[in-house]
């Protein structure tokens, strides 16, 4: 079935939304926040929250930088195009499909759109692309499909939490960050300046080509139309018994130094969001970035786009 979305995105440079949505015969409080990393640049993250017959479908998409610009986009970045295309198309999908089926369908549709823009599977690393996580939450369980470095966290009544998504980008990013620090030390410059050194830029290109949808299964997945992404899609199911909340986020959401792999970070994220909303969390994340102007917390950009969805069953 197709139904009207619970939320619509219009201006997403900085956007905060809240709603009560039905899940079976109960309700959940849903909060959303999204913000662009730089006020003068479009937000390359996107989100979906929509109702299905048996519950709620929620998703976050994080557009990925392309290796070349595409003239047909007329100045729009491939990352922005891909994430927002996936958002629009997910709202039109059959909500009875599983998260994996939805992700598979979206990837095929993105290939069609990318080819129409002049892209080709012979040059997949230049196609508009995105990472993403889709969850389907019903009265009895939660199912999900995930690819890339967005994340999903399940919170339980006993105070524990589980990071139910993997991050296949992580080891590649750690290698790049180690190189940035090495170049910074060798040239006696800051990590921020080292990020723009020629050897780092070339290593990034090489990493993208080696990593993204590598056919041998030793890379990381990316939604861009390439069918090899299916080797990297993580799927799963969990009972909703004892579940109190689910948090989806893009990798720009946590403040610097907050690692979602650590339970203490997951607890802090939930606490901050409940106490001061996504606006409060964004303020904390931006403060952590501004307090580190030379990027000693090594990263690719000063401030990343950030998006989060909290589904709270305690409502």
Among 191, 90, 86, smallest CA distance to 136 is for: 90
How far does CA 119 lie from the centroid of its chain? 23
**Alpha-carbon span 278 to 263, nearest angstrom:** 19
Q: What is the pLDDT of residue 315?
A: 52
Residue 247 contacts residue 153 (beta carbons within 8 Å): yes
Burial 220-250 (b: 16+ CB within 10 A, else e): bbbbbbbebbeebbbebebebeebbbbbbbb
One pLDDT digit (tens) per residue for the chain, 315 residues: 344 444 555 578 999 999 999 887 788 999 999 999 998 899 999 999 999 888 899 999 999 988 888 889 998 999 999 999 999 999 999 999 999 999 999 999 999 999 999 998 888 888 999 999 999 998 889 999 999 999 999 999 999 999 999 999 999 999 999 999 999 999 999 999 999 999 999 999 999 999 999 999 889 999 999 999 999 999 999 998 899 999 999 999 999 999 999 999 999 999 999 999 999 999 999 999 999 999 999 999 999 999 999 999 965
Query: How confident is the model at residue 151, as a pLDDT?
Result: 98
What residue spans define the domains of the chain?
14-167+219-312
> What pLDDT, on the 0 to 100 scale, is given for residue 9?
54
Query: Which has the closest alpha carbon to 35: 277, 315, 313?
Result: 277
* The pLDDT of residue 36: 96
Q: Say how far apart CA 155 and CA 270 lie, in whole Å.
A: 9
Task: Answer whether 220's CB lies under 8 Å from 233's CB.
Answer: no
Its pTM stands at 0.95
Architecture of domain 14-167+219-312: 4-Layer Sandwich (3.60)
Nearest CA to 4 out of 59, 48, 60 is that of 48
> 12 — phi, psi (to 5°)?
-115, 25
Position 69 scores a pLDDT of: 81
Write down the pLDDT at residue 3.
42
How far is Cα 207 from Cα 175, in angstroms, rounded to an integer?
Answer: 9
CA gap 21, 19 in Å, rounded: 6
114 within 8 A of 224, measured Cβ to Cβ: yes
Residue 57 φ then ψ, to 5°: -110, 130
């Amino acid at each position: 079935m197709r139904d009207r979305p619970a939320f619509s995105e219009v201006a997403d440079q900085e956007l905060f939304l809240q709603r009560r949505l039905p899940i079976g015969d109960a309700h959940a409080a849903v909060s959303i926040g999204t913000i662009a990393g730089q006020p003068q640049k479009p937000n390359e993250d996107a989100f979906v929250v929509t109702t299905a017959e048996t519950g709620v479908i929620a998703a976050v998409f994080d557009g990925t930088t392309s290796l070349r610009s595409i003239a047909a986009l007329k100045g729009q970045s491939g990352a922005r195009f891909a994430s927002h295309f996936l958002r629009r198309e997910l709202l039109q999908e059959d909500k009875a499909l599983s998260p994996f089926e939805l992700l598979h369908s979206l990837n095929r549709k993105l290939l069609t759109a990318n080819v129409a823009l002049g892209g080709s599977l012979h040059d997949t690393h230049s196609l508009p692309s995105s990472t993403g996580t889709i969850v389907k939450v019903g009265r009895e369980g939660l199912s999900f499909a995930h690819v890339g470095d967005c994340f999903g966290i399940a919170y339980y009544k006993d105070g524990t939490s589980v990071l139910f998504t993997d991050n296949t980008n992580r080891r590649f990013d750690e290698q790049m960050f180690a190189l940035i620090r090495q170049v910074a030390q060798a040239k006696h410059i800051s990590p921020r300046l080292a990020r723009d050194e020629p050897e780092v830029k070339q290593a990034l290109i090489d990493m993208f080509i080696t990593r993204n949808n590598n056919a041998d299964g030793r890379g990381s997945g990316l939604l861009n139309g390439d069918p090899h992404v299916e080797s990297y899609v993580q799927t799963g199911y969990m009972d909703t018994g004892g579940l109190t909340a689910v948090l989806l986020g893009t990798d720009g959401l946590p403040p610097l130094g907050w690692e979602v792999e650590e339970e203490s970070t997951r607890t802090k994220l939930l606490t901050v969001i409940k106490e001061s909303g996504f606006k409060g969390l964004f303020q904390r994340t931006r403060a952590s970035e501004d307090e580190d102007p030379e990027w000693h917390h090594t990263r690719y950009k000063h401030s990343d786009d950030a998006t989060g969805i909290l589904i709270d069953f305690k409502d």
